[in-house]
Chains A and B, each alone.
Chain A
Amino acid sequence: MNSGSGSRGNGARVIAAIVTVALLAWWRLTTDPNAIDLAHRFASPSTTSPLGTDELGRDVLSRLIAGGFITIGAASGALAATAAIGTMLGLFAAWRGGTAGSALLVTTDSLVSVPQVVIALIMVSILGTNLQALMVAVVAAGWLPFARLSFELASRILSTDYAIAARMSGASSARIVAFTLLPNVARPLVAHAFLRFPGKLLLLSGLSFLGLGPQPPTPEWGAMLASGIDELERHPLVPLVPGLAIVLTGFAAAHFGRRLEAPTTGPASARPTE
């Protein structure tokens, strides 16, 4: 029904386009994103400031780009740490099996009904309101699905004939993990990571929106949205630019993740009959 490779190409192209635009804009970026110019508050778009200026006369485009590096960078960093920690826990539990396996299952089963925002709030209350603390909070809130998925994938692979054969032929644990387990769990986990990216982006920018992240004047998208939101009526560009940036970035990553995931889940698990 859907031509996998073509659509996957589209997703990759969207991401490539975003990166190119960001880099080009960064290169052309001459204004300081935090430079205050009270004489030109809420300026309309012009050649000097293509997206206008905000409530302190700061260039919206400069802040959008600088904020993109902060927001996407922090979300990606948090996602990478989340995936790494969750995957290690899941693989370890699957490898050891028995008590370790059921302990992981019981913990994830129960913790999954605790809202991520609440877990993140706990971390923020301990670590304070800054970007690093916010990233740690996002990691603490999000390792569950990765642990669960990698546990299930690894358990399935370890019970296949070729994994049993590898073990019986005397391969070392390290060798089985490196050559049997990792290559087989890598692709679905990477796809899962792309699918989870919007969640990280939303949690991060959402908490930052509430003032629980990097403090002003840091141009984080969620914080930009929060500070511009009162002007939605008179100066819609100021809040709409970061808002749309959050939505579109999340959308592109989710789209890319779905395409990556499609070939593995389609025939294997979704429709066993027919």
Chain B
Amino acid sequence: MRSSSRQRILSTPFILLAVSFLAFLLPELQGVDQARVTLFARSQEAEPTEAAIAAISAELGLDDPLLVRYGRYLGDIATGDLGTSNVSRSPVGPQVWHATVVSATVVALAMAAAVLSATVLGVVAAANQNRWPDKLITGASRVLVAIPIHVLTPVLVFIAALRLDLDPTSGWGSASHLVLPVIALAVSPAALFSQVVRSEMLDTLEQPYIRTALAKGLTWRRVVWVHAARVSLVGVLTLGSLFVAGLLGGAVIAEVILGVPGLGRLLHTAVTSSDVPMFQGGLLVAVASGVFVGLLGDLVSGLLSPPNGDG
């Protein structure tokens, strides 16, 4: 195992601990009076009595020292209790879990779509270097990689609604709801990856073993798609694992625009409606999944890349 991977594994608990402390501190940092907020959420009491505030403070243990409260918070997280939403007044945990499943589905499909299309496009471009397919793909990818998701998504909605009769264009529940979020998230990484695949393919096609394969009488098509493309796929998979964090971020914007009930929209709604427990819960899960996926990508790319001196 590479030393960087080992360091990352060792540092993961500390990162998660730091994030949990930040999440715990958020109400303090935001200057939220948790007793009043909780009371308001429960009874719509805008101007509670002193006695009511004292009672709820005692119930929530708000008067305990900071570290005691943090310890209790960690204990709650460990037992899967992420608190109760200020807005919906239902437990945060299940909602965050459902949202995470939705986001994971969209992000995984988008990543698969990006890697597949980028491999095909990059290989086609490299095999036709400096001819029209190459120029078309390279030109399009340069433009598409620069288009922000909050510009791309509304345009996709527009096209889908007007030209493709794809209905409904937003929401969640059926397979057709997946189409737009997946495309919206996949376009930019696909454009970037295709450029990487193209340049790796151009390098690979120069290699002696490709000339050998051609000299053996294998067809150009077979050499390109079987021998050379496989090398590029490994490269783009490694790159893809580095991109999941960016994709999760883009998912926030795409989910809000398209009404996808994922983790991104949950965080956005929690911020705009000042739903502190919901934001804390979503935050923990978002950061933890980002860190774990990054770690996984690191390990996978370590396994895929050839050991030193053997190639």
CB within 8 Å of B: which residues of A? 102, 105-107, 109-118, 121-122, 124-126, 198, 201-202, 205-206, 209-212, 222, 225-226, 229, 232-233, 239, 243, 246-247, 250-251, 254
> With A and B bound together, what is the CA distance between A23 and B281 in angstroms?
47
Contact with A along B93-132 (1 / 0, CB 8 A): 0000000000000000000000000000000000000000
Question: Is A121 a contact of B271 with CB atoms below 8 Å?
Answer: yes
Question: Is A118 a contact of B252 with CB atoms below 8 Å?
Answer: yes
Contact of B148 among A126, A205, A212, A239 (CB under 8 A): A205
Please name the residue on chain A nearest to B248 by beta carbon: A115
Question: Is A121 a contact of B268 with CB atoms below 8 Å?
Answer: yes
Contact of B286 among A115, A198, A201 (CB under 8 A): A115
Contact of A250 among B11, B146, B154, B242 (CB under 8 A): B146
B15 within 8 A of A: yes
Question: Is B7 a contact of A114 with CB atoms below 8 Å?
Answer: no
Name the distance in Å between A219's Cβ and chain B's nearest Cβ: 16
Q: A113-B245, A246-B148 given as contacts; is B7 within 8 A of A121 (CB)? A: no
Please name the residue on chain A nearest to B286 by beta carbon: A118
Question: Is A113 a contact of B11 with CB atoms below 8 Å?
Answer: no
* 28 A-B pairs whose Cβ atoms sit less than 8 Å apart in the complex: A102-B7, A106-B7, A106-B8, A106-B11, A109-B8, A113-B293, A114-B245, A114-B286, A114-B287, A114-B290, A115-B245, A117-B253, A118-B252, A121-B252, A121-B279, A121-B283, A202-B149, A205-B150, A206-B148, A206-B253, A222-B150, A225-B151, A229-B154, A233-B162, A239-B154, A243-B154, A250-B146, A254-B146
B12 within 8 A of A: yes
Name the distance in Å between A243's Cβ and chain B's nearest Cβ: 4
Question: Is A113 a contact of B150 with CB atoms below 8 Å?
Answer: no
- Hey, which chain A residues are within 8 Å of B271, CB to CB? 121, 124-125, 212
Question: Is B8 a contact of A110 with CB atoms below 8 Å?
Answer: yes
Stretch at the interface among B22-30, B57-65, B75-83, B213-221: B22-30
- Hey, which chain B residues are within 8 Å of A116, CB to CB? 245-246, 249
Contact with A along B12-34 (1 / 0, CB 8 A): 10010000001000100110000
B52 within 8 A of A: no
Please name the residue on chain B nearest to A120 by beta carbon: B249
Question: Is B290 a contact of A113 with CB atoms below 8 Å?
Answer: yes
- Hey, which chain A residues are within 8 Å of B245, CB to CB? 112-116
Question: Is A198 a contact of B246 with CB atoms below 8 Å?
Answer: no
Question: Is B11 a contact of A210 with CB atoms below 8 Å?
Answer: no
Question: Is A121 a contact of B148 with CB atoms below 8 Å?
Answer: no
> With A and B bound together, what is the CA distance between A102 and B7 in angstroms?
9
Q: A117-B249, A122-B26 given as contacts; is B15 within 8 A of A111 (CB)? A: yes
CB within 8 Å of A: which residues of B? 4, 7-8, 11-12, 15, 22, 26, 29-30, 143, 146-151, 154-155, 158, 162, 242, 244-246, 248-250, 252-253, 256, 264, 267-268, 270-272, 279, 283, 286-287, 290-291, 293-295, 297
- Hey, which chain B residues are within 8 Å of A232, CB to CB? 154-155, 158
Contact of A115 among B8, B30, B249, B268 (CB under 8 A): B249
Question: Is B154 a contact of A121 with CB atoms below 8 Å?
Answer: no
Question: Is B287 a contact of A206 with CB atoms below 8 Å?
Answer: no
- Hey, which chain A residues are within 8 Å of B249, CB to CB? 115-118
Q: A206-B148, A211-B272 given as contacts; is B11 within 8 A of A110 (CB)? A: yes
> With A and B bound together, what is the CA distance between A202 and B148 in angstroms?
6
Q: Which of A102, A112, A254 lies at the interface centre, i.e. has the most chain B CB atoms within 10 A of its CB?
A: A112
Name the distance in Å between B286's Cβ and chain A's nearest Cβ: 5
Question: Is A118 a contact of B150 with CB atoms below 8 Å?
Answer: no
- Hey, which chain A residues are within 8 Å of B286, CB to CB? 114-115, 118
Question: Is B15 a contact of A121 with CB atoms below 8 Å?
Answer: no
- Hey, which chain B residues are within 8 Å of A118, CB to CB? 248-249, 252, 267, 283, 286-287, 290
- Hey, which chain B residues are within 8 Å of A105, CB to CB? 4, 7
Please name the residue on chain B nearest to A232 by beta carbon: B158
A-B pairs with lowest CB-CB distance, top 10: A113-B294, A115-B249, A117-B249, A202-B148, A209-B150, A115-B248, A243-B151, A110-B15, A106-B11, A113-B290
Please name the residue on chain A nearest to B11 by beta carbon: A106
- Hey, which chain A residues are within 8 Å of B246, CB to CB? 115-116
